[in-house]
Amino acid sequence: MELLKFEGVEVEHLMTHFVGNKNNEEELALSNEPTHVDESTIDYLTSYFLQPFKAEFYYKFRDGEEHNPNKVFTIAKKLFGDQGDFINDSQSIARLLFDHMTHPKIKSGELNVVYLKDIIFDDEVVSGIGIFKSENKATYLKMTKKDNGFTIGHDEGYEVKGIDKGALILNTDHEDGYKVLIVDNKNKNSDAQFWIDAFLQLDPISNEYVQTAQVMSMAKEFLTNKMKEEFELNKAEQVELMQKSKEYFNQREEFDEEEFAESIFTEPEHKQSFRQFNSDQRNSGNGRSGGSGFSDGGNDGFVSDNETEKVSRFPISEEAVKKRQGLFKSVIKLDKNFTLYVHGDRKRMEQGSDPDGRRYYKLYFDREK
């Protein structure tokens, strides 16, 4: 994983615009002069912009067509060469975003376009362009000391814990579409997935994190849906396969498709079905991200289509496993009365039915805790 550090980062240019929802007849309000930031506030603002970004995986700008260029990519290339027209360029970015604010669920908010210096990336000092959108305000109390007591009032603002949407474009690998980090904390449904695909037009850059996340999602899809359609597995058998899959990713340093099939499944038809399903997933899709796919509720904004990377063997990312192992939930829900969480040997469970047709589980254990 590449090293990414923000200590010592400087904000060289900053413009703030308001971008409303076009569908809801809200306005686009463009600023004509740079945003002023109090000296005592700049560190808080920089942290607000940058702290949500993690160096787990990256995107790159998608190549545009001759008559339909990737407009944000074009502006980024211009800005990395010359920031002399930063005001107009930031306004162009705001207009592009406004043009894509057409879904009723997309929230309006302030858009900050920022030129940053002195980002440490992979042991090099690079510049960056930040496109940061703030959407969700919070009410906070202000307690002010007076001569003989206090006054308490309130105001609204953005919490310093981090932006709602963001793109950080790093000035590296420009010939391949740069490296871009993404944050999209609030809009996880497909109707609102416009940030990555429509507005920025990005594709994920393959790395160990992406490959691990994709194959874990593929395995979960196979275990919970495909096997249910194709084979008559009871819930306990399904949970056992989930548990074995989770252990595989936690204990191995490398994913191997054939080894995974042999480790998880005992029946030959299950192994063959998995191999075929994995092959179908690798060969489907168009390689783009953004419309739908999996999301674990984190802040990375990573989405995927149905295409899994066209490799059957790669190093497993510990970070991806840590973040996504919740996919393999070993849970059995029994009507509305009981929920069983299975963490170990399924041989300690027996399933059956009594003479009255009521179904049951027998659980064998050594001691209560």
pLDDT tens string 227-257:
888 887 777 778 888 888 988 999 999 999 9
Report the chain's terminal Cα–Cα distance, integer Å. 40
- Residue 204, pLDDT score: 85
- Residue 346, pLDDT score: 63
Report domain extents, the chain.
4-205, 209-363
- Residue 356, pLDDT score: 85
CA distance 15 to 36: 9
CA distance 293 to 196: 13
Per-residue model confidence as pLDDT tens digits over 101-152: 988 889 999 999 999 999 999 889 999 999 999 999 999 999 999 989 999 9
CA distance 112 to 221: 38
Q: Which positions of the chain have pLDDT values less than 50? A: 190-192, 285-309
Nearest to 53 by CA among 130, 127, 113: 130
